[in-house]
Amino acid sequence: MNPYLPIKRIVLRYALPLVLLLTCVPEASAARKRPRKQAKNAPEAVAPDTVYIIKYLPIADTTSRPRRAEFGDRGYTEYSPEVRDSLLSGWHRRNIAASYDDFFARYVREDTLAHASSDATPDSVYAQRLQRLVSPVRLPYNPIVRDYIARYTDSRYGTISRILGLSQYYFPLIEEELVKAGLPVELRALPIIESALNPSAVSRMGAAGLWQFMPATGKLYGLEVNSLIDERYDPVLATRAACRYLKDMYALFGDWMLAIASYNCGPGNVNKAIARSGGKTFWEIYDYLPRETRGYVPAFIGASYAYAYHRQHGIEFTPAPLPLAVDTIHVAKLMHLEQVASTLELPIEVLRQLNPQYRLDIIPATDKRYTLVLPQQYACRYIACEEEIHRKDSLYLKEYINPVNVAQKRAVTSTYLTHTVKRGDTLGSIARKYRVSQQTIMRDNRIRNANRLSVGQKLRIRRR
């Protein structure tokens, strides 16, 4: 065995990588020094020995402002109920406003084919705008539709501006129910032409609420109507009933225009118009429909257009008179709205606006639960004060504490309501308010001279 063999192996093991490394260094150094070929008009290359100075901005002092809560923090739960309600209310309001801005920015594109004045807008522009609103509900354009578009976009009346403001409160709940029912969301425009989004609206024929249900039709579709509660005025329950009715009509006719027409005049009149005309579409049976229904479907198209393209006509929202951020409490015990209002220091007018279905301000929750809609700012406070609220029942519900009395009241639908004459009231203004004739009021109250009303006088008004 060669004695130098181990030494050779060691030399080869360590010397060879060292030689390779020394041969690569000059090449790498040369590569760094080799000038790059600059592109034409390119900025001058920076010298390799240029010193870069990185300036760091000073960290701002955050001791003066609260740290933003991170996911998993318990800080929010340590706030008072009032603060939590306020934070949640602000979040709801911001999201509602943002969703509306996003809708019109994304889906209703501004066009430059026309000025704000609808009078100068060519027919082709109206037709193109309606075509953009792609929907299972066809929205055709013709001179009749244009007339209704002009009515809804006339800024002199302010109708659509007020409706746009109310839509921020009512459309989210209406759209939610339409989506749950599998119906086109464009049907949200129906309450515009039915009630102008007024949940307390009452027609001359006795139809009531956002969707203008007649008492019999409302009961047929599951709405409770009696002397204490009229669910035709409940925006959510009435919308659910309207969804069921519209699904039935679409199943009957297979056409949304005919289903919408039947919502106004009933399926019987639509069937007769089809039989007399031999047509199969709304426009083919148009001349055979009742006069009011002939304008109903074009009004629906006009309202849909005005809602989508109000900005092209220089129309903006009128702020809604309702709190946009609300929450729902389920009530399982008999309660007067004054119990809630007085305890939470909340104006009872706000409760009445949000809960128009309770005719006498009483929630008749004796054998089933009912809902109470509150401004978001008061939801947690209600829960914290619930026992105090219920302790006030003897003060506001003396005659109703006995469940038997409540059942009797619910079973009887009163034919009349009472109006107390105030300063400035006239028989004509009272008749217009309740949508009854002056002659009917005079006959029911044995009034001989219509000009002789006294302040404080009680009048029996026949319900419509």
Residue 44 designated active-site? no
Query: Rounded to 5 degrees, what are φ and ψ at 401?
Result: -60, -35
Burial 146-183 (b: 16+ CB within 10 A, else e): bebbbbbbebeeebbebbbbbbbbbbbbbbebbeeeeb
Distance CA 144, CA 125 (A): 16
Q: 3-state DSSP call for residue 290?
A: coil
Burial 324-349 (b: 16+ CB within 10 A, else e): bbbbebebeebbbbbbbbbbbebeee
Distance CA 270, CA 258 (A): 7
Q: Is 356 within 8 Å of 373 (Cβ atoms)?
A: no
> Which residue among the candidates 27, 175, 177, 194 is catalytic per the annotation?
194
Q: 3-state DSSP call for residue 4?
A: coil
Helices marked H in 49-157: 81-107, 123-132, 143-152
Helices marked H in 34-113: 81-107
Pairing of strands 335-336, 362-363: antiparallel
Active centre residues (catalytic): 194
